Structure 1
């Protein structure tokens, strides 16, 4: 009888130990396009997420007095909404403790409903579509400024600084492209300023001759494109081939180091103006420079665009978990809502909608084929 009681006690102890062991792994899901036309940006993001996870594990993360190991579960959405929702459900089924992603607004928005229904916290490092946080999902956050600010700021710069009068607008029909183009159009105001053309293409198109020929007849002095660099580069080449000398403008989707390579000689000198959601200046510039150096040392690659925001997204989620002493979304969500975190991209705080508070924007142009900063504005 005594032996049986001892065996029962031993079995209970082993079960408890096994349970404790199972609780030591905290799963963080990351989703981005590591295939398709935006793969260079998606890989940039995934590399940054892995870098953050590795650093946290090396540092040691304690939750409620217990050391935990963070594990990254990375998925590819190919910038495709259908694929995005499929991998979102896969991560829900894997019982992740939080989501970092997606990159494209067109995949983030439909996936966010799946995460919301599962009670998960999601931090997007790149999604700018206003629709994302306007859904009022309590667990949806972003660490970059929305299209409302980005589009409006670019419109003001086009009219007041570039003195554009005849403006043509093209979008790629994606959630992101249409959204940023609509916000840009909404901000176009001023004496003698008019939108002379509104056209659209697709995120996978390669020939824009028809719409660009139509635009050429309207004699624009500025063309705004809502879409990604993989389309903007070839479009710039075709604008040059058609003799359209208008300035070219776009949001963060085109504002990459890769655009100069994709556009070749058509990039011009100061011809392209774009804005990236986020940005630092002053003392924060050294922090960002240090991050870029560490990123290159670890990955062997330069930062493409969103890597610093992915890194900060992981770090701020981990900080909220530590403050809550729990990786359960329902427990660390309140901590995330009130957090003030000093990241490589600056101070991260969220408003009631989950948007970054006082988000920065950086204006860039291209000189010698290289992206060159104009200014950081808030």
Structure 2
């Protein structure tokens, strides 16, 4: 009788034990440029997501009664809108439950439609205001928008640098154009005369014709709506042409890539804005930077921490909703309040951050050094 009862108890417990050990693999997509001129930024982003997933898997997160193992599916979108849409369809077909990315606004605008229509949660740092104006249910911006990045740079230029005449260069990407538009709008409202607006592209490397024209207009500052692969050569060529004025930009130039491409010309007269608080002022930020350096043998650059936080936000929403399905955990993400490495996360009704501090950086010894939050 005792043996029979023992057998019955063990038999009853077996399904419970099996259930406790049951594992579910949850696929997470990642989209950024991993080759080409912006590969440095893409690999920086990828490191942030990888670090988050490794930590989450080590924690043994349980959702819906099953232990979760996150699997990262990384894709190179080459900072190209058409490639980004192809990548989006590929990741959707592979059954991802979320996408951390894309990085570029020009990629995010068309690709987000693919993800949203498939019911996939999107956590992007792409900054063009049009992204969240699409009204997509599953799309969230986890960093500052162009209105914050470009506008704060314009305010700093007017109030702190005391600039009166600025030339603007725009690379015609969705990011560069949106950033330049916001800079121009706020600059004009604060008494800065925009003496010219020239256009290039995100593949260009020779800016001598544009800069020669700008030199003739005698600005006391130049603003670039674009990325480091253009920013470095632009500043180097400004020095060669004797255009001794500050170069300003947004988060696209706020990286060590500027120094690698611009050499000694990238000094204290180069300014940029980046969303988020200063990592070295926050305990979690300092730990993240140290852990990133240890794992990848390189410093975290512009958006590694934001991509890390984006993945952590997704996991927190899954836990809160007790589901890995976007249609269930998406509403939990909309209502979330989370203290991450880059700051506090809480979304408004457009799925933009309610508050996103912007930090002004100035380059020193070819590296961006934070000046102040603005």
Which consecutive residues of structure 1, in runs of 5 or more, have no partner in the other structure?
A: 1-13
- Residue 157 of structure 1 deviates from its aligned partner by 1.0
Separation in structure 1 between the aligned mates of residue 286 and residue 279 of structure 2, nearest angstrom:
11
How high is the TM-score relative to the length of structure 2?
Answer: 0.92
Correspondence list, 1:42-61, <5 A: 42-61=42-61
For 2:189 and 2:45, the matched residues in 1 are separated by 39
1:261 and 1:90 mapped to 2: Cα distance? 34
Tell me the CA shift for residue 376 of structure 1: 1.5
Q: Which residue of 2 aligns with 1:371?
A: 368
Q: What is the TM-score normalised by the length of structure 1? A: 0.91
Q: Residues 56-135 of structure 1: matches in 2 within 5 Å?
A: 56-124=56-124, 126-135=125-134
CA contact (8 A) 2:249 2:273 kept: yes
Q: In structure 2, the residue corresponding to 1:86 is in which secondary structure? A: helix
Displaced runs of 4 or more, over 4 A: none
Q: Which residue of 2 aligns with 1:179?
A: 178
Deviation at 1:345, TM superposition (A): 1.0
Over 3 Å counting, the alpha-carbon distance change for 1:218 and 1:316 in structure 2 is same
Cα distance between partner residues in 2 of 1:281 and 1:307: 11
Q: Distance in 2 between matches of 1:343 and 1:99?
A: 18
Summarize the alignment of residues 178-257 of structure 1 with structure 2, pairs less than 5 Å apart. Answer: 178-189=177-188, 193-257=192-256
Q: Secondary structure at the match of 1:103?
A: coil
Q: Per the alignment, in what secondary structure is the counterpart of residue 49 of structure 1?
A: helix
Matched, 1:326 2:298: no
2:49–2:307 contact (8 Å) kept in structure 1: yes
What residue is the counterpart of 1:304 in the other structure? 301
* 1:274 corresponds to: 272
Contact 1:159–1:190 (Cα < 8 Å) also in 2: no
1:160 is aligned to: 159
Aligned residues: 358
Contact persistence 1:169–1:198 (CA under 8 A) = yes
Cα distance in 1 for partners of 2:190, 2:328 equals 53
- What CA distance in whole angstroms lies between the structure 1 residues aligned with 2:224 and 2:367? 19
Paired residue secondary structure (2:252): coil
Question: CA RMSD of the aligned region, Å?
Answer: 1.9
Contact map agreement 2:279 2:285 (CA 8 A) in 1: no
Distance (Å, rounded) in 2 between the aligned partners of 1:358 and 1:344 = 15
Counterpart check, 1:354 vs 2:354: no
What SS does the corresponding residue of 1:24 show, helix, strand or coil? strand
The gaps in structure 2 that reach 5 residues or longer are: 1-14
Give the drift of 1:281. 6.9
Of the structure 1 ranges 315-324 and 367-376, higher mean CA displacement relative to structure 2 is found in 367-376
Closer, same or farther in 2 for the Cα pair 1:328/1:105, shift >3 Å? same
